[in-house]
Chains A and B, each alone.
Chain A
């Protein structure tokens, strides 16, 4: 727990950096991974009862939210014990988490629909999530990246979200509101497309299952 960040005197700074990035990422990646196979996993239910398919993904989001809240409560206890101070922007945490889970919902709905027809997509999504994790500065700092990689990092949507958590918890800075607003619009666009694809394929999804 005593690893320091470059330029920081706080002995807990790296622990805070790591936890602030890792906890939201686990919620995000678990939601996508579980959503991708949810229609296949629950096919015994779907084939017997007429239930709303997106509700299955919402159920996953809620279960991941409970885990996230419990972990965050423990994290806050740790932060108070180590004497961390917060600004008003700590109130932003639920909204950043909401945005992140909306992203996972849009992504998950699309992959869940397509996995019914392309079964290998489940494994592909797992690999994409692994690569995505290492491409996002969660366990390392953006500073250590080469300039070329660092310059394209701003186009990584997970980076915008994780950076917001880092700014709030560790650096006591305001997140990049402009980037968050752009992300909000893009994520809702993605949900719109995902839902459109789902509506177009819903009947086939139920028949295939």
Chain B
């Protein structure tokens, strides 16, 4: 339950940050930013599993 809640919360945070960042920045740097956010998001997901499932 905690894992599921953590995943939903983390995904929601990622979606919000990515959405607002994509909307605010006009130049193509936003793609590089999205790559960075995505890397942080997936790393967070694997860390979450590592600490809550193991």
Interface residues of A (CB under 8 A from B): 87-89, 91-92, 95, 98-99, 102, 174, 177, 180-181, 184-185, 188, 191-192, 195, 199
A-B contact pairs, 13 of them (CB 8 A): A88-B52, A89-B49, A91-B7, A91-B49, A174-B49, A177-B46, A177-B49, A181-B43, A184-B42, A184-B46, A188-B42, A195-B32, A195-B35
Q: How many residues of B contact A (CB 8 A)?
A: 20
C-alpha gap A95/B43 in the complex (Å): 10
Q: Does the CB pair A88–B53 fall under 8 Å?
A: yes
Contacts of B35 in A (CB 8 A): 188, 191-192, 195
- Which secondary structure dominates chain B's binding surface? helix
Contacts of B39 in A (CB 8 A): 184-185, 188
Q: Does the CB pair B43–A185 fall under 8 Å?
A: yes
C-alpha gap A89/B50 in the complex (Å): 10
Is B26 in the interface zone, CB < 8 Å from A?
Answer: no
Contacts of B31 in A (CB 8 A): 195
Q: How far is the CB of B28 from chain A (nearest CB, A)?
A: 7
Contacts of A177 in B (CB 8 A): 46-47, 49-50, 54
Contacts of B13 in A (CB 8 A): none
Is B18 in the interface zone, CB < 8 Å from A?
Answer: no
C-alpha gap A184/B49 in the complex (Å): 14
One digit per residue, 1 when the CB lies within 8 angstroms of any chain A CB and 0 when it does not, for chain B 13-54 equals 000000000000000100110011011001101110110111
